[in-house]
């Protein structure tokens, strides 16, 4: 076992098939090592959670938040704290920013990875 349940693995597979427009847009930018040599995974189980995107080698989690996250601030804070206890850094973007300002989002990701912007 890799630290997550079979249920989480199956749920992650299901989430990959029902990604939001913002998640799909960001995935097109992150996939296939398009950000330097860093590999990202999407809808990946980490502990008790499934994260939107993760770069395992850099211990970086990227979350894309829609409007429903305005009502679950305390849950998101607990989730972030749990992921940080596992050693991950977590950065969050609003889905509108991913869709309307993708360059700004990419610059923030590059900065989190300690890489110069493209």
In sequence order, what DSSP letters do the residues of 3-43 get, joined into one string?
SS-HHHHHHHHHHHHT--HHHHHHHHHHGGGTSTT---EEE
CA R_g for the chain: 14
pLDDT one-digit tens code per residue, 16-47: 666 789 999 999 999 988 877 899 999 999 98
CA count, 13 A, side-chain hemisphere, 11 = 12
Strand segments, DSSP code E, in the chain are 41-46, 49-55, 60-65, 89-94
Q: What is the pLDDT of residue 8?
A: 64
Place of tokens 């990419």: 106
- Asked whether residue 71 carries a pLDDT value surpassing 70, the answer given is no
- Residue 14's φ and ψ, nearest 5 degrees, are -65, -40
Rounded distance between C-alpha atoms, residue 36 and residue 45, angstroms:
23
pLDDT one-digit tens code per residue, 55-64: 999 999 999 9
Domains detected in the chain: 6-113 (3.40.960.10)
């Amino acid at each position: 076992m890799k630290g997550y349940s079979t249920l989480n693995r199956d749920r992650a597979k299901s989430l990959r098939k029902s990604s939001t427009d913002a998640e799909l847009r960001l995935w097109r930018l992150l996939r296939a090592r398009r950000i330097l040599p860093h590999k990202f995974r999407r809808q990946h189980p980490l502990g008790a959670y499934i994260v939107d995107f993760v770069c395992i080698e850099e211990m970086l989690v990227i979350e894309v938040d829609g409007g429903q996250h305005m009502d679950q601030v305390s849950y998101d804070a607990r989730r972030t704290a749990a992921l940080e206890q596992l050693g991950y850094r977590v950065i969050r973007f609003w889905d509108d920013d991913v869709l309307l300002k993708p360059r700004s989002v990419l610059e923030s990701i590059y900065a989190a990875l300690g890489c110069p912007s493209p």
